[in-house]
Structure 1
Amino acid sequence: MFEGSKTKAWQVAVTAKSLSEAMNNVFLNHEVSSSLPKWLGWLAPFENCVILNTDQSVMEDKAGFEGVLRSSNGVWIHGFCGNVDDFEIIGVELLDILQGLRIAQRLGLTRVYCQTNSFVSVKWIQGGVSHMHHYSNLVQEIRKLLDKDREVSISHVLRECNKCANYFAKLGLGCPDRLTNFMEPPLDVIPLV
């Protein structure tokens, strides 16, 4: 079925679970009024897997980015945020994913499931881009980290699915450094973790 593919069984299982939940919501809840609120939230990955959530925020001439690494139980592992000037948002999104995967590698995390709200980034990372593309180097660096002897995958999620990542992205705008690491969650984030 996946002949010649580097797709791991657990990646297929994560995707299948996500699709199954989406299908259940569509077909089993078809009688639910569309005027009712839809509850979205962070979903834990499979056991013994770390989840990396990334998000970005833009304000005037500055962009903030962030990442949060949590265990399959939702326990904080590591967080980071930063900012860049003179940006295109897609470049910030790719930089954010690259930073998170590099940190996960430095921490020795071998099963990482990256979730980002950037559909275009996921598309480019999974499908590749021309070597002449403006962001080819960033995409290739991310693809190298995905291809290493680790179980790493990436998928798109709605921003509303991770309030913790969204909070950090806004924090990144005001970060005094280009990159700040958090070994412990800031007090304001604890209720969101």
Structure 2
Amino acid sequence: MLCVEPIISTPSRILPQSLAGALLTGFAVFSISSEPMRRHGFPTELGWSKLNSNGSFVHNIGIAGGGGLIQNSVGDWIMGYARNIGSTSSEVAELWALGDGLTLCHQLQLMAVEVELDAKLIVNAITNNSCCHNALSPLIDDCRKLLSQLPQVKVLHCYLEANFCADALAKKGTSLEQDFILYPLPPTHVIPLSSQADELRPPPMNQLQMNSDHLPPSSHRFPASASESRSFEDSNPIPLSQVRFLYNS
């Protein structure tokens, strides 16, 4: 088992001062790309990171989960996560998963993030101020705020098959005993046995040593973890020759 220190939510957040004007005027620094839905690939610009998130709902038991992963521009695994959300709708699960991922992006101090979602309804809701979803409005507003606080961000709609790994993590969330879990390394349940899978690069060594002392604080309705340390299952290092991974595309 690999244990890391928890990420604790606090009443303050470190934000770039240059964004103050954008927040006051309501200017949106995120947008829907005019490009077609993605099938394969990573952010083309050096220095960009990619966040893929998804929600999952098990109809026969009425339990929802969320999850996602963050990678850098060349496909290195930065961090994965999963959450047991409980009894709720699939739309709420999608928004919780997105909020968790955006919170991690802030805590990791990522400056340029490309967000990919396979739920077009959610993409439209968070990027179109004219959309009206009364029941979802608090979560939508939180996601919009988190997006606006990133210096550079894009929100893209991708195919479901392009969101394979985030979907697997979201499904894992429905069966978690914990509320929330982080994966510093790719867990075995998202490593597909497929001849089409690509090789996953291991995360940088300093990423594996991450703890709460290296992260800025966060405060919003998507807590990154509980107040105690967690053990991350399936996070033991795997020999590189055995690590296979279906890149989100």
CA-CA distance at 1:7 after TM superposition: 4.9
Q: Is the 8 A contact 2:57 2:89 kept in 1?
A: no
Runs of 4+ deviating beyond 4 Å: 4-8, 129-132
Instruction: State the alpha-carbon separation in 2 of the partners of residues 153 and 41 from structure 1.
Output: 16
Deviations 1:11-65 (A, max 9, x none): 68xx35x34xx7xxxxxxxxxxxxxxxxx84421122110000122221211121
Deviations 1:103-122 (A, max 9, x none): 11001011011111111111
Question: Which 5+ residue runs of structure 1 have no aligned equivalent?
Answer: 23-39
Correspondence 1:191 to 2:247 = no
Output aligned runs, 1:150-189, within 5 Å. Answer: 150-188=151-189, 189=191
Instruction: State the alpha-carbon separation in 1 of the partners of residues 148 and 131 from structure 2.
Output: 18
Q: Is the 8 A contact 2:66 2:174 kept in 1?
A: yes
Counterpart for residue 43 of structure 2: 45
CA-CA distance at 1:130 after TM superposition: 7.1
- Share of identical aligned residues, percent? 24
Q: Is the 8 A contact 1:44 1:51 kept in 2?
A: yes
Taking structure 1 as the reference length, the TM-score comes to 0.76
User: Superposition RMSD on alpha carbons, in Å?
Assistant: 2.5
Correspondence 1:108 to 2:106 = no
Question: Which 5+ residue runs of structure 2 have no aligned equivalent?
Answer: 1-25, 192-242
Flag the 1:6–1:74 CA change in 2: closer, same or farther, 3 A: same
- Residue 113 of structure 1 aligns to a residue whose secondary structure is strand
Deviates more, 1:148-157 or 1:128-137: 128-137
Instruction: State the alpha-carbon separation in 2 of the partners of residues 100 and 160 from structure 1.
Output: 19
Deviations 1:133-166 (A, max 9, x none): 1111111111111212511221211110132222
Instruction: State the alpha-carbon separation in 1 of the partners of residues 115 and 42 from structure 2.
Output: 12
Q: How many residues align?
A: 166
Q: Is the 8 A contact 1:42 1:162 kept in 2?
A: no
Which structure dedicates a bigger proportion of its chain to helix? 1
Flag the 1:106–1:7 CA change in 2: closer, same or farther, 3 A: closer
- Residue 108 of structure 1 aligns to a residue whose secondary structure is coil
Higher relative contact order (CA 8 A, sep 6+): 2
Q: Is the 8 A contact 1:49 1:113 kept in 2?
A: yes
Flag the 1:84–1:70 CA change in 2: closer, same or farther, 3 A: same
Instruction: State the alpha-carbon separation in 2 of the partners of residues 187 and 132 from structure 1.
Output: 37
CA-CA distance at 1:83 after TM superposition: 1.6
Instruction: State the alpha-carbon separation in 1 of the partners of residues 54 and 64 from structure 2.
Output: 11
Instruction: State the alpha-carbon separation in 1 of the partners of residues 66 and 157 from structure 2.
Output: 16
Counterpart for residue 36 of structure 1: none
Deviations 1:51-97 (A, max 9, x none): 00012222121112111000111110000001222201111111111
CA-CA distance at 1:175 after TM superposition: 1.4
Q: Is the 8 A contact 1:51 1:70 kept in 2?
A: yes
Q: Is the 8 A contact 1:65 1:169 kept in 2?
A: yes
Instruction: State the alpha-carbon separation in 2 of the partners of residues 105 and 52 from structure 1.
Output: 12
Instruction: State the alpha-carbon separation in 1 of the partners of residues 57 and 51 from structure 2.
Output: 20
